[in-house]
Amino acid sequence: MQEISQELVADFMNEAFELVQKMENSLLVLENNPTDKAAVAEIFRAAHTIKGGAGTIGFTEIKEFTHKVEDLLDRVRKSEIAVTPDLVSLLLRCKDVIEGMLDARQNGDVYVGELAEDIMKELGEYLGKQPPDPTASSQEGKTSNQSEGKASLSYLTAYERSVILEFLHQNFPVYELWYVFNENYEMKDVSAFQIYALVGDFAQIIRMEPSLEIVEKEFRPDFRLVVMTDKDEDFIRQKTFMKDLVTSLQIRRIRNNDIENLETQIMKGQSLETAPSVTEMEKSSLPQPSENPSSKKTTLSSDAQESVRMSTTLRVESTRIDELMNLVGELVINKSLLHEISQMMVKSHSNIRLFFKSFLSGIALLPLDENIETNRELNYHLREDFHQLETSLEQYQEILQRFNQISSALQENVTGLRMVPIQQVFSRFPRLVRDQAQKLGKQITLEIEGVETEIDKGMVDDLFDPLIHILRNSIDHGIEKPEERAAKGKSPQGKILLRAYHEGENVYIEVSDDGLGIDIDRVKQKAIEKGLISSATAENLSAKEALALIFLPGFSTAQEVTELSGRGVGMDVVKKKIEQLGGSVSLSTARDKGTKIQIKLPLTLAIIQGLHVLISGFSYILPIVSIDETMIVQPEDLVDIEGDPHINVRGEFVPVFSLRRFFYHESESFRSSFYCILAKQGEKHYGLVVDEIVGEQDVVIKPFNNRLIKSPGISAGTIIGNGNIGYIVDLNGVIQSYKDIVGQKGENHGNSQ
């Protein structure tokens, strides 16, 4: 192992982030139920795994810190330390530090924080020991492999140590075998390999020191193997002590305390030894902790730590892969069936052809009586062949049907691979709600439903921010303080319900609270003050329309929201984000009953439902989500308003503009009837004129390389059935451009839009 592969690091990171999340969840469970042994075990396991992994890839500071936490947890596990709210808070802060360390490593830094040291001290107090010298972690000793009788095992990595401990816990014997080779043996170069192979026959080799790679390059006078085997020492000696090759063999059984002593030594920094490769890596490629104060992270409040993590790996349940394998298996079977049928058909076809050939060429030459007989026979064969052909065709159609089923199932399955439970998003919220509520002196319980609902992996990161916005609005402005609630006759404890569920082709996420609700009159007033609407317009707004004002950009900023008994912190941002994911947001509220925000999302990001239209001979796809209706407009229905054509749709004057003009700068005269597609942006409709409507279809989004190509009004491409390219229209962009053009329009305005 000469260098730690990026893949290994990425795997560790993915797993570690999941584990800290698990830690947090279990800690919150523990807080509510201090006697929950399973939660303690879960937290301990998480810490233990992170420690082992961090050691393996040389993230020393994580290993050291987590080890400390693990010690404390071990004492809790053994009921030597009681679970108190203080302890849970301390462990939560520990989890924050571990997460901070992971974040730092992910950004190529090493976490430096006084917080970690403070917590180390606290941990030390709990454990009744002196905390280790924090500088110890950066002192790496060098592995020596001196040929001395007593082996130190110091070459073992943390991961290997944890493997050994695991074996010992399960009562499997682990040995260290130390072979010294005969240097006069003519084949001494392969001695190590021979021994390795012999031992491998009856034991599981945990570590070879020096490694096979090193032994391949040069002869080493001795080597050590750490192995797990159920065979005894005599057996090992008898099997592997080859007198020609080996001059001495020492066998030592490894016990629990050997490893534990080793760990303590490492903790004390006396001879902190890891695998040489890690040591080298630490020196060469890993950034060293700097004492630069600017890189110090001292606080790790939850709001500062809501960083979105991009993860490109997908963990897929093996059952899903199994299903895929089954489908592929069926495909293969189908393939061979098709092949058979094809051969049958070819045979029948050539028989029939031969018959006709002989019939046409030979009929005149045959005497009549024979002719009847021969013809009868030939007729019989011909009928047989036709029958055969018919059967083949029937089978062929059956197989084709099966093929269709398989390909649909395959599509569904492969799409399913990208789906992850929404738990990945939701799991981070309990802590957020807990901390925020405590900060504001409110009592809030968060109920979560439907964590198993699956969403596209690509949405996980993008959903995080909008949901945090919404939740914080509920906590900050929705739920009242306990005394206020009591005065209203409500339970002092407010409730926020976070719920996800599938319905049809969509995923819904709802956040509802039983707080104040939104004061619609105040919303109107605010909008008038902000100059978003006139007071005359406000008079005529329905409650629903008034609520929609909240989503307008510039409706509110943080400092003003506090006077508003509702929300609005960046709701326009929330809406924009959700719309980028192809979804929509709606809101309902009742005074003193609470507020409910519903997010509707498509199942997958990779496929959208679109309306296939033709513009100047090219295929364009308009996302169905943004379309209200399609209509055919007669030229006489057009109304000219300020030089721009409009149509009257149920009392609303909708501007009409041509996509052919937008994309290809061709003039549009609107002399004959035309197709118009009504799209909505905000509260207003726009009519987009296209040449032809082909129909609705699901299209697979093929993103463009934005570094190289950007086309205003086109968000991505897709492949239409015949292999041609179609363009997916960015309706918001098109409408915005139209608005800009209309806004700038001067005297050079043409006779038509």
Partner 1 sequence: MEIRNKRVSAEETTVLQKVLMQCISFSLGEQLYALSMDAVESILFARKIFLLPNTHDKLLGVYNLRGNIIPVYSLRRLLSLSDPYQGSRIVDEDDRYVIVVKYQRNTFGLMVDTIYKHLEVLENEFQGGDHIARWSEHAVVSGVILKQEQEILFIDMDRLFLYISSLQEKK
Output the CA–CA distances (angstroms, integers) from residue 288 to 65, 120, 141, 296, in the order listed: 17, 20, 16, 13
Q: Is 397 in the site for partner 1 (CB under 8 A)?
A: no
Choice between 441 and 723, CB closer to partner 1:
723
- Token pair, residue 627, equals 């379309």
Alpha helices in 581-730 (DSSP H): 659-664
CB of 704 to partner 1, least distance (A): 6
Sole binder of partner 1 in the list 261, 719, 721, 749 (CB under 8 A): 719
**Helix and strand element counts for the chain (H, E):** 24, 22
CB of 706 to partner 1, least distance (A): 8
Q: Is 339 in the site for partner 1 (CB under 8 A)?
A: no
Q: Is 325 in the site for partner 1 (CB under 8 A)?
A: no
Choice between 444 and 735, CB closer to partner 1:
735
CB of 665 to partner 1, least distance (A): 9
Q: Is 202 in the site for partner 1 (CB under 8 A)?
A: no
Those residues whose C-beta lies under 8 Å from the C-beta of residue 645, and which sit 6 or more positions away, are 638, 639, 655, 656, 657, 670, 752, 753
CB of 620 to partner 1, least distance (A): 10
Q: Is 501 in the site for partner 1 (CB under 8 A)?
A: no
CB of 709 to partner 1, least distance (A): 5
Q: Is 713 in the site for partner 1 (CB under 8 A)?
A: yes
Distance CA 475, CA 493 (A): 12
> Which residues within the stretch 130-159 sit at the binding site for partner 1 (CB under 8 A)?
none
Sole binder of partner 1 in the list 41, 197, 212, 725 (CB under 8 A): 725
Q: Is 489 in the site for partner 1 (CB under 8 A)?
A: no
Sheet holding 714-719, edge to edge: 692-700, 607-615, 618-623, 725-729, 714-719
Distance CA 720, CA 727 (A): 9
> Which residues within the stretch 32-61 sit at the binding site for partner 1 (CB under 8 A)?
none
Listed ranges 205-213, 256-264, 598-606, 702-710: which one lies at the site for partner 1 (CB under 8 A): 702-710
Instruction: Determine the size of the site formed for partner 1 (CB under 8 A).
Output: 22
Alpha helices in 171-317 (DSSP H): 191-202, 212-217, 233-240, 256-268, 276-284
Q: Is 717 in the site for partner 1 (CB under 8 A)?
A: yes
Distance CA 417, CA 320 (A): 7
CB of 50 to partner 1, least distance (A): 32
Distance CA 500, CA 451 (A): 7
Q: Is 721 in the site for partner 1 (CB under 8 A)?
A: no
Listed ranges 384-392, 401-409, 537-545, 713-721: which one lies at the site for partner 1 (CB under 8 A): 713-721
Those residues whose C-beta lies under 8 Å from the C-beta of residue 626, and which sit 6 or more positions away, are 679, 680, 731, 732
Sole binder of partner 1 in the list 121, 296, 387, 702 (CB under 8 A): 702
Those residues whose C-beta lies under 8 Å from the C-beta of residue 329, and which sit 6 or more positions away, are none
* Contact pattern from residue 643 through residue 672 relative to partner 1, giving x for each residue in contact according to CB under 8 A and a dash for the rest: --------------------xx--------
Choice between 78 and 707, CB closer to partner 1:
707
Q: Is 169 in the site for partner 1 (CB under 8 A)?
A: no
Distance CA 221, CA 153 (A): 18
Sole binder of partner 1 in the list 108, 149, 723, 743 (CB under 8 A): 723
Say how far residue 728 (Cα) sits from the centre of its chain.
Answer: 25
Q: Is 2 in the site for partner 1 (CB under 8 A)?
A: no
CB of 663 to partner 1, least distance (A): 4
Question: SS in 3 state form for 690-717?
Answer: ECEEEEEEEEECECCCCCCCCECCEEEE
Sole binder of partner 1 in the list 200, 554, 712, 721 (CB under 8 A): 712
Q: 10 Å Cβ neighbour count for 196?
A: 18
CB of 753 to partner 1, least distance (A): 17
Listed ranges 106-114, 478-486, 508-516, 719-727: which one lies at the site for partner 1 (CB under 8 A): 719-727
Sole binder of partner 1 in the list 278, 437, 527, 714 (CB under 8 A): 714
Choice between 509 and 714, CB closer to partner 1:
714
CB of 716 to partner 1, least distance (A): 8
- β-pairing, 684-690 vs 652-658, is parallel
> Which residues within the stretch 241-280 sit at the binding site for partner 1 (CB under 8 A)?
none
181, 191 in Cβ contact below 8 A? yes
Q: Is 731 in the site for partner 1 (CB under 8 A)?
A: no
Sole binder of partner 1 in the list 704, 732, 741, 745 (CB under 8 A): 704
Choice between 202 and 704, CB closer to partner 1:
704
Choice between 37 and 702, CB closer to partner 1:
702
> Which residues within the stretch 603-632 sit at the binding site for partner 1 (CB under 8 A)?
616-618
Q: Is 708 in the site for partner 1 (CB under 8 A)?
A: yes
- Token pair, residue 679, equals 């799209």
Listed ranges 157-165, 267-275, 648-656, 718-726: which one lies at the site for partner 1 (CB under 8 A): 718-726
Choice between 651 and 723, CB closer to partner 1:
723
Q: Is 383 in the site for partner 1 (CB under 8 A)?
A: no
Q: Which residue has 């609630």 as its token pair?
A: 485
Q: How many residues does the chain have?
A: 753
Distance CA 235, CA 252 (A): 14
Q: Is 219 in the site for partner 1 (CB under 8 A)?
A: no
Output the CA–CA distances (angstroms, integers) from residue 34 to 29, 95, 419, 461, 717, in the order listed: 8, 18, 35, 33, 55
CB of 494 to partner 1, least distance (A): 49
CB of 741 to partner 1, least distance (A): 13
CB of 404 to partner 1, least distance (A): 21
Q: Which residue has 């797990």 as its token pair?
A: 228
Q: 10 Å Cβ neighbour count for 154?
A: 19
> 727, 734, 732: which is closest to 712 by C-alpha?
734
CB of 415 to partner 1, least distance (A): 15
> 731, 520, 712: which is closest to 608 by C-alpha?
731
Distance CA 217, CA 227 (A): 23
DSSP state of 511: E
Choice between 250 and 616, CB closer to partner 1:
616
Q: Is 312 in the site for partner 1 (CB under 8 A)?
A: no
Q: 10 Å Cβ neighbour count for 394?
A: 11
CB of 698 to partner 1, least distance (A): 16
Choice between 55 and 713, CB closer to partner 1:
713
Q: Is 414 in the site for partner 1 (CB under 8 A)?
A: no
Sole binder of partner 1 in the list 79, 256, 491, 724 (CB under 8 A): 724
Choice between 368 and 709, CB closer to partner 1:
709
> 433, 394, 395: which is closest to 511 by C-alpha?
433
Q: Is 744 in the site for partner 1 (CB under 8 A)?
A: no
Q: Is 727 in the site for partner 1 (CB under 8 A)?
A: yes
Listed ranges 137-145, 151-159, 308-316, 717-725: which one lies at the site for partner 1 (CB under 8 A): 717-725
Q: Is 346 in the site for partner 1 (CB under 8 A)?
A: no
Distance CA 15, CA 9 (A): 10
Q: Roughly how many angstroms between the first and final C-alpha of the chain, as a whole number?
A: 68
Sheet holding 684-690, edge to edge: 627-633, 674-681, 684-690, 652-658, 644-649, 638-641
- β-pairing, 684-690 vs 674-681, is antiparallel
Distance CA 746, CA 357 (A): 80
Q: Which residues on neighbouring strands pair with residue 690, listed in sequence order?
A: 675
CB of 707 to partner 1, least distance (A): 6
- Point out which residues bind partner 1 (CB under 8 A): 616-618, 663-664, 702, 704-705, 707-714, 717, 719, 723-725, 727
